[in-house]
Amino acid sequence: MIDMAEEKEMPMTKQGPPQFIPKLKGKKVIICLVSGGQPVTGAIEGYNPYEILIQTTKGPILVFKHAIATIEETTK
Amino acid sequence: MIDMAEEKEMPMTKQGPPQFIPKLKGKKVIICLVSGGQPVTGAIEGYNPYEILIQTTKGPILVFKHAIATIEETTK
Amino acid sequence: MIDMAEEKEMPMTKQGPPQFIPKLKGKKVIICLVSGGQPVTGAIEGYNPYEILIQTTKGPILVFKHAIATIEETTK
Amino acid sequence: MIDMAEEKEMPMTKQGPPQFIPKLKGKKVIICLVSGGQPVTGAIEGYNPYEILIQTTKGPILVFKHAIATIEETTK
Amino acid sequence: MIDMAEEKEMPMTKQGPPQFIPKLKGKKVIICLVSGGQPVTGAIEGYNPYEILIQTTKGPILVFKHAIATIEETTK
Amino acid sequence: MIDMAEEKEMPMTKQGPPQFIPKLKGKKVIICLVSGGQPVTGAIEGYNPYEILIQTTKGPILVFKHAIATIEETTK
């Protein structure tokens, strides 16, 4: 889903379009899934183009990006 | 999902097919998700080819485009 | 999801495989979503490879193609 | 989702991997959607890499392939 | 969703990453769909990168891979 | 969904972005599906860019990555 045209209309820096996930690395987040089930809460430990590794109180959980609806930072 | 043929049948300008999300930047929107859950309401703060950052009354929420069904502007 | 082999088995014209969405531009349609929620009804005002802009009685709604199950023309 | 390795293990003909949708053109089919809602029943009038046009008793319906779970021929 | 890095970490043979669907050809399988509806049961008659053709007791059914959650062999 | 820009902001090693699934090979995991149905529990026997083969107590199950929400290791 690469949309070159959209990028053109954004104020371009040398880094290209803004990247939101790298800024959340190490932060505690709530991840809501497209399935509408129980959200995943924990710290973002790592990520690649397809998956995000979350450190939860019950251990690490690998979350597929295609299954994520929203991510928000939490201080709780 | 790049569909070159469709683009041909659209009145082409130098910018290519119309881009709708850049026009909504800074605007307050209601985002309905494919999961059918609670819509996300807030101002579009940024976006890239995969995600849209929404500033809500509870703070920023990162919304994955693949999880979005519809976006509409709101004045409420 | 580009399927070159399928195209070969279709009677090829110079325009390639048939394009259905351009023919619906300006027409009033009912869009059923994969989420199974309330259909979106209105006129197709524009589209690009990822989204369709619908003019409804309540204003414009941007619909992501990945969230659409079916589109049918309506005279209602 | 192009999987070159799979193609290697299939008995290759000059046409590449088997194409199933072209063989259903003009046939009456029942299309079950991933949303689990009401199936779409009618004759396949046309298709492209993303969509299938179905002629139903209520008129044409454009069905997005990404929303289809199964297609089966029907004689009813 | 091609992930070159993953392939590197797998014991590489000349055939590349393991292919699971070709090994199921001709076998009787139960296919569970992402929609959570009724599973499709039958023998895998053919496949291409996007679809699998299943021979069921009620006739052939074309199943889109994007709608499949799991496939398991059955002896029932 | 290849996101080159994200990779740039990660501490790059010669292996590129971190790969999580190879590290789980042979481990017992619980796989939650996007459909929200019954999780799949078993050992990861193999994988390719699209599918993961799980050895369960009832035999092998092929799970499509697009249907997976989360994977977590289990000791149970």
Digit-coded pLDDT (tens) for A11-26: 445 668 999 999 999 9
Closest CA to A32 of A61, A72, A74, A60: A72
pLDDT of residue D54: 98
- Mean pLDDT, rounded, for B8-31: 82
Q: How far is E44 from chain D (nearest CA, A)?
A: 13
Closest CA to C19 of C49, C61, C53: C49
Backbone dihedral angles phi then psi of residue B11, each to the nearest 5 degrees? -60, 110
Residue A55 near residue A41, CB atoms below 8 Å? no
What CA–CA distance (Å, rounded) separates C51 from C46?
Answer: 9
CB contact under 8 A, C48 and A1: no
Q: Is D14 exposed, middle or buried (0-12, 13-18, 19+ CB in 10 A)?
A: exposed
**Partner C contacted by D45 (CB < 8 A):** no
Subunits next to F (3 or more Cβ pairs <8 Å) are A, B, D, E
Do E and D have ≥3 inter-chain CB pairs under 8 A?
yes
What CA–CA distance (Å, rounded) separates C51 from E54?
Answer: 33
pTM exceeds cut of 0.90: no
Distance of CA B19 to the CA centre of its chain: 10
What CA–CA distance (Å, rounded) separates B57 from B40?
Answer: 10
Q: Binning pLDDT at 50, 70 and 90, where does residue B65 land?
A: very high
Residue B33 near residue B68, CB atoms below 8 Å? yes
Closest CA to F68 of F58, F47, F56: F47
pLDDT of residue F14: 62
Q: Binning pLDDT at 50, 70 and 90, where does residue F4 land?
A: very low
Residues of chain E with Cβ-Cβ distance to D36 below 8 Å are 35-37
Q: How far is B76 from chain F (nearest CA, A)?
A: 33
CB contact under 8 A, C1 and E50: yes
Closest CA to A60 of A45, A49, A76: A45
Instruction: Give per-residue pLDDT as tens, F24-70.
Output: 999 999 999 999 889 999 999 999 999 999 999 999 999 999 999 99
CB contact under 8 A, A6 and B21: yes
**Alpha helices by DSSP H, B1-76:** 4-8
Q: For residue C40, give both structure tokens.
A: 């979106």
**Partner E contacted by F11 (CB < 8 A):** no
Neighbouring residues of B26: CB distance < 8 A, sequence distance ≥ 6: B43, B44, B45
Q: For residue E20, give both structure tokens.
A: 């699971």
- Mean pLDDT, rounded, for B33-40: 93
Residues of chain A with Cβ-Cβ distance to F19 below 8 Å are 48
**Partner D contacted by B4 (CB < 8 A):** no
- Please state whether B2 falls in left (phi above 0), alpha (psi between -120 and 50) or beta: beta
**pLDDT tens digits, chain E, 76 residues: what are they?**
334 344 444 444 566 899 999 999 999 999 999 998 899 999 999 999 999 999 999 999 999 999 999 999 998 6
CB contact under 8 A, B5 and D48: yes
The 3-class secondary structure across C23-42, one letter per residue, is HHCCCEEEEEECCCCCCEEE
Q: How far is F62 from chain E (nearest CA, A)?
A: 5
Q: For residue D16, give both structure tokens.
A: 């590449």
Q: How far is E59 from chain A (nearest CA, A)?
A: 32
Q: How far is F40 from chain E (nearest CA, A)?
A: 9
Mutate to test the interface with B, among A13, A21, A72 (most CBs of B within 10 A): A72
What CA–CA distance (Å, rounded) separates D56 from C34?
Answer: 19
* E strand spans, C1-76: 28-33, 40-47, 51-56, 59-64, 68-73
**Partner A contacted by C13 (CB < 8 A):** no
Q: Which amino acid is at B3?
A: D
Residues of chain D with Cβ-Cβ distance to F49 below 8 Å are 3
